[in-house]
Amino acid sequence: MWTRRALVAADRGFLVALEVALRWAALPPGLREMLADQQVTARLAGWDGRGAAAEVVCVGDAPVAVYVSRDDGDDRDLVQLDVLPAHQSRGLCTWLLRGEQRLVAARGGAARLRVARDNDRARALYTRLGWVPVDDDGTSLYVAMCWRSDP
């Protein structure tokens, strides 16, 4: 059902539309695209600077999600995972994370991500998949979570 491929320059319009749909939808048209475009520029620079691999997940030829990850020795950092609203709750994130978990189980390291503390749905999903908080002091805006095959 889903395929993954490397992000290419022509995906920029998709990234802006995704950013608008997830984070700027309440703003007036025009303004939201402008802010989303700036955000995409910053994100692309950040991914590049961290040496992360940016991919899109497609249904047929149509991109529906962005997935950015990087190797850190045996460990894996999951840098960004955003799914178009119309394609959420279909198991896409579960599919991607199970793939990461298989990779990490084979290599023996850990997979890590950071999630906003108020993103209850994502945190519950990660917890269901076996991810656990790391060094959580209960106050910071983001919670670091980790998955390893030998917890």
Ligand X SMILES: CC(C)(COP(=O)(O)OP(=O)(O)OC[C@H]1O[C@@H](n2cnc3c(N)ncnc32)[C@H](O)[C@@H]1OP(=O)(O)O)[C@@H](O)C(=O)NCCC(=O)NCCS
Q: 130: which residues sit within 8 A by CB, 6+ positions away?
A: 101, 147, 151
Interface with ligand X, residue 82, by CB under 6 A = yes
Backbone angles phi, psi at 129, to 5 degrees: -85, 5
122 belongs to the binding site for ligand X (CB under 6 A): yes
The radius of gyration computed from the CA coordinates of the chain, to the nearest angstrom, equals 16
83 binds ligand X (CB under 6 A): yes
10 Å CB burial of residue 77 (0-12, 13-18, 19+) is: middle
Binding residue (CB under 6 A) for ligand X from 89, 98, 102, 118: 89
Nearer to ligand X, 19 or 104 (CB): 19
- Cβ-based nearer residue to ligand X, 108 or 142: 142
Residue 4 engages ligand X in binding (rule: CB under 6 A): no
Among 17, 75, 77, 90, binds ligand X (CB under 6 A): 90
Q: Give contact residues for ligand X (rule: CB under 6 A).
A: 22, 81-83, 88-94, 113, 115, 119, 121-122, 125
